[in-house]
Structures are given as C-alpha cells and as structure tokens.
Amino acid sequence: MRIAVISDVHANLPALDAVLADIRDAGQPDAMWHLGDVVGYGPHPAEVVDRLRTAGALGVMGNHDAAAIGRIGTEWFNDDARTAIEWSTERLGAPHQAWLRGQPESRREADVTLVHGSPRDPIWEYVYSPPIARANFGAFETRLCLVGHTHVPLVFRDRDGRASAETPDDGETIELGSARTIVNPGSVGQPRDGDPRSAWLLLDTAACTATWHRVPYDVGATQADMRAARLPGRLIDRLELGL
Ligand code: ZN
C-alpha cells in the first residue's frame, strides 16, 4: 500500500495545492493520511478542510484544530497563535467544524499508529529528541508511529532501548526495516527546519520504505492573503524563512 502522509497544513492553501499536485505527479497513492493541525496560523482554514475532505484524507486532531472548534482553551497558546485561532474559528462553517470534530486524537490504520503530538500525549507533546522518542516507544503497539507537531522531518528508531535520530533530506528514501520507528513527515504549511518548501512523505508499506519530498509553493500568495486578513506579522514573515 502506498500512502501519502501530510501534516501541519495550517490553513495554507497554496502550499497544500502544491503538495497535492506533487502527490499526483508521484503516481496516485492508495490513501492519504494527515497528522493534524489542518487549521491555525494560515489564511485559508475553510478551504483546506474542503480540500482534505474531498480528497478523503484520514487523520487525527492537532492542538490548533482542537482550539479552533473549542475543544481546548486558547489560553495555552502564545498571542500570535491565539489571534490566528480566533480568526480561524469565525471562518469555519458548520460542515468544517463537524469534519474537524470528527478527527480522533489517535488512530490506527494498516498497522500504523497516527497521532499529532506523541503517542502518550497526542495533542501536546513534541517528539523532537531521542530521549522523548525513547519514552514514547512504550506508548504505541504498532511497529510504526507517525507524528507531526514539530514541523521538522525526523525519524527515530528504537535500538535496543535507545533511540537514534535521522534527519531525512528531500528525495531521500529511508528503509524502515524491522525496528520500531517514529516518523515525522515535516509540515506542509509552515516548515520550521530552515527550508520554506512544503514537506510530505510517501509511505510504502509493502517495500517498508518512507520517501521524503519537498515542494516549492507561492509563499508570497499566502503572505498576501495573511496581510489582507490582518494576521500577525511574525506569522507572515516566518513562512519565507522556513522557521
Ligand atoms: Zn502545527
């Protein structure tokens, strides 16, 4: 089974459309999975929900999604994030809210666990270091767990009780092998690894491989829509830096 995995779209429609085109160019996959934070930060919350719903994407709820539908309070977010979440909530119609509400905190598909943050704390925890990955290997039952939330492509493998980390490059294919592994595809709508291009990954469950892809998109178009919506300047500036 070939699965396109995306995460942290963050209401960035030009980025999502560039990724969807790249996924088609790579040969239509059997499924599309998303790892949450569909909305928040960006200027197109309703449009990205429509795209993912139409594409039949299966996924999980992120912290920004949970706040945008009122499931968690916005007091846990910094001022810029809170401003963007409150702006997003006003723009989500009943069908968009219902779709977001229907995303579980974790799910299991084809013997893979999907969460936004971490298996032991699906909404909030960031898996960004080997010690945190190691502490999470006991919190999921499948061999592979997909996470988002950090906006950085990463692979953590369980090596006899220790975790090793790898940072995959554009076009790199990683053999998943038999070790238990936590994999992060990176972010579609707000990459934070210094590369402003959108990230996604192709998971091949038969070949047991994951291949990372980076895709340029029209950052200026998203920034113009954010300016028109009067979203916070720091959120606009960071897109071109990939930070
Ligand atoms: Zn996010």
Q: Which domains does the chain have, with CATH numbers?
A: 2-105+169-178+187-238 (3.60.21.10)
Mean pLDDT estimate for the chain: 96
Provide the pLDDT for residue 162. 85
* pTM of the entire predicted model: 0.96
Instruction: Report CA(63)–ligand 1 centroid distance (Å).
Output: 7
Compute, in angstroms, the gap from residue 163 CA to the centroid of ligand 1: 23
- By the CB criterion, residues less than 5 angstroms from ion ligand 1 are 8, 37
Rounded distance from Cα 164 to ligand 1 centre (Å): 23
Residues of the chain with pLDDT under 70: none
How many Å lie between the centroid of ligand 1 and the Cα of residue 160? 31
> What is the reported pLDDT for 161?
80
User: Which residues are CB-neighbours of 155 under 8 A, at least 6 positions away?
Assistant: 165, 166, 167, 168, 174, 181, 182, 183, 184, 210
41: CA distance to ligand 1 center in Å?
9
Give the pLDDT of residue 219: 98
pLDDT at 239: 97
CB contact at 8 A, 41 and 63: no
